[in-house]
Amino acid sequence: MKKRVLTGLQPTGVITLGNYIGSIKQMIEYQNIYESFIFVADLHAITVNQDSIELRKNIKSLIALYIACGIDPEKNTIYIQSENPYVTAISWMLECNTYYGELSRMTQFKDKSKKNANFTSGLLTYPVLMAADIISMNADYVPVGIDQKQHVELARDIAIRFNKKYKELFIVPEVIIKTTGTKITDLQTPDKKMSKSNENQKGVIRLLDDLNVVRKKIMSATTDSEMKIIYDPVNKPGISNLINIYSSLTNKSIEDIEKEFIDSNYGNFKTKVADVVVDTLSNIQKRYNEILNDDEYLDRILDKGRDKNIEISKKIYDKMIDCIGLGR
């Protein structure tokens, strides 16, 4: 039987080049090897306040973007998290086997709760819902960017704990992290993650950005004064980030890139990076515009995805109810 791979992204605004490289691009590779599941984590999005009209729009847009990026609906089960009520029920049962201490130690929780003192309890329990996403689908592998690694590790801990307490019920998931592209950084402040919520959008590339703007953002990326195209994330975070982007999108190794640009200046290198990014986004945007308004096509994919998602997770749910001793 094929191993299962699963990942999800939040529909909070248009996803970034970081999301694409850290997550979607990996799935495009794995869809040819594993049984693949990719979903829109809309329940995770409401841990912070969302406008309901925008949220709906973003969910649909993200589904269209998955497909436009190359997620093949024939090879993937594509679904929307909130359309499956079993996941939240499973999440509750896992929550009762997860400790407050564990959740309050999560780096993302610490960062986000510091930024807004009036945070919801959903922000704290968010990683348990993520564990439910993974465990309820019996996923073997979870490809994510480095920022989500800790959450997948927690999902592992919860699965192991549950298996010990009750019976060997869950597959213990493994995180997959690529060596390059696990953390694409902000083009203006390259010691910070490229994130949808960064204040200055000049350093953030979104997949649906105007292509001229994308080129400008790359050409004005922060670098250093050394003029050497060498991968050194500590001392040269800006150039290393551009090397990472170039490496991920061309599948060239870092060593080959360093050799290719040994006599090049930063301007030339940035132009090459911009060419590759613009070319990638231009293909994605073309396909996106073709399918976004094809509701029949998208609904067919999502109905099929929802049904399969529910079918698999209901089995896990029934077993959990049984071994915990809930109900009749």
User: Catalytic residues, which ones?
Assistant: 112, 193, 196
Nearer to ligand TYM by C-beta: 134 or 154?
Answer: 134
Nearer to ligand TYM by C-beta: 103 or 194?
Answer: 194
Per CB under 6 A, the list member of 130, 205, 281, 310 interacting with ligand TYM is 130
- 3-state SS, residue 31: coil
Per CB under 6 A, the list member of 40, 78, 90, 144 interacting with ligand TYM is 144
**CA of residue 106 relative to chain centroid, distance:** 17
The answer to whether the Cα torsion of 111, 87, 40, 55 is positive or negative is negative
Nearer to ligand TYM by C-beta: 184 or 242?
Answer: 184
For the bound state, the minimum distance from the C-beta of residue 126 to ligand TYM, rounded and expressed in Å, comes to: 7
For the bound state, the minimum distance from the C-beta of residue 60 to ligand TYM, rounded and expressed in Å, comes to: 16
Nearer to ligand TYM by C-beta: 21 or 78?
Answer: 21
For the bound state, the minimum distance from the C-beta of residue 229 to ligand TYM, rounded and expressed in Å, comes to: 21
For the bound state, the minimum distance from the C-beta of residue 163 to ligand TYM, rounded and expressed in Å, comes to: 19
Instruction: Tell me the residue nearest to ligand TYM as measured from the CB.
Output: 22
5 binds ligand TYM (CB under 6 A): no
Q: Which residues contact 39 (CB under 8 A, 6 or more apart)?
A: 6, 7, 8, 78, 79, 80, 81, 133, 305, 309
- Going by C-alpha positions, the residue among 53, 202, 57, 48 that lies closest to residue 112 is 48
Give the sheet arrangement for strand 76-80, strand by strand. Answer: 76-80, 35-40, 4-9, 141-143, 174-176
- Report helix, strand and coil shares of the chain as percent, to nearest 5: 55, 10, 35
- For 289, other C-beta atoms within 10 Å of its C-beta total 12
Residues that bind ligand TYM (CB under 6 A): 6-10, 18-19, 21-23, 41, 44, 130, 133-134, 142, 144-145, 147-148, 182-184, 193-195
